[in-house]
Amino acid sequence: MRKLKLQIQLSIDGFISGPNGEMDWMIWNWDEELKNFVKEITESTDTIVLGRKLAEGFITHWKSNKDLEGANKINSSKKIVFTKTLENTEWENTLLEKGDLADKIRELKSSTGNDIIAYGGGEFVSSLIKENLIDEYYFFINPSILGNGMPIFQKTNYKTELKLRNAKAYECGITVLKYTN
C-alpha cells in the first residue's frame, strides 16, 4: 500500500500562513543537509496531491522555475488537484479531482505506484488530517511565532496520538519533526 506523506512548513505556534496569507516568515534559504533530507522524502514519491488554492501558485511556480533544485522531480510527478471549481487544467501531468476527498485518497493509496506527497494548503491539509489519511507527517518548524493565522488542525474534532519518529534541527533554523500514526 502506498503511503501519503505530508510536508509542510509551520510557525512554532502551528500556523502555515499569517492571518492575511503572509508567508514572509518562512525560511527558504535551506542548508544543504535539509535539501538532501527533502530529496530523501520525495525520492520514493511519484504523485503530488494538492488543494486548488495552493495548486494555482505551486504548479505555476515550479513550471516557470525549472532551474530550481527539485523542480524536475515536481514537474515530472503526477499531480492531482482536488477542486470543486476548476473545469480544466493547462498544467502538464495534472489531473483535476472533484470526487470525495477521503474516498479518492484511499483509492489512490491502494493503487499501484510509489508513495504520494501532499503539500497543502490549509483547508485541504486540514481535511486530510480530519479523515486520518496521512501516514507520515513532516513538520518543518520555522523559528517564528505568528500569534494568528491559518491553522492546519482546524477541522480536527477528535484526539489524535502521533508517534515522534525523528526530530532534527538544521543550520538554516528549521527543525523537522517526523510523526507517524
Q: E strands of the chain, at which residues?
A: 4-11, 15-17, 45-51, 78-82, 94-97, 115-120, 136-142, 150-151, 163-169, 175-180
State the pLDDT at residue 64: 76
State the pLDDT at residue 75: 83
* Domain count within the chain: 1
State the pLDDT at residue 160: 87
User: Which residues constitute the domain of residue 31?
Assistant: 4-180
Of 105, 103, 78, the closest CA to residue 92 belongs to 78
State the pLDDT at residue 61: 78
Return d(Cα 164, Cα 180) in angstroms, integer. Answer: 7
CATH number assigned to the domain comprising residue 16: 3.40.430.10
State the pLDDT at residue 133: 96
Q: Which residues lie below 8 Å from residue 82, measured CB to CB, with a gap of 6+? A: 49, 50, 51, 52, 97, 98, 101, 104, 124
- Divide the 181 residues of the chain into consecutive groups of 10 and give the mean pLDDT of each group: 96 94 92 95 95 82 76 87 88 90 97 94 91 97 96 83 97 98 88
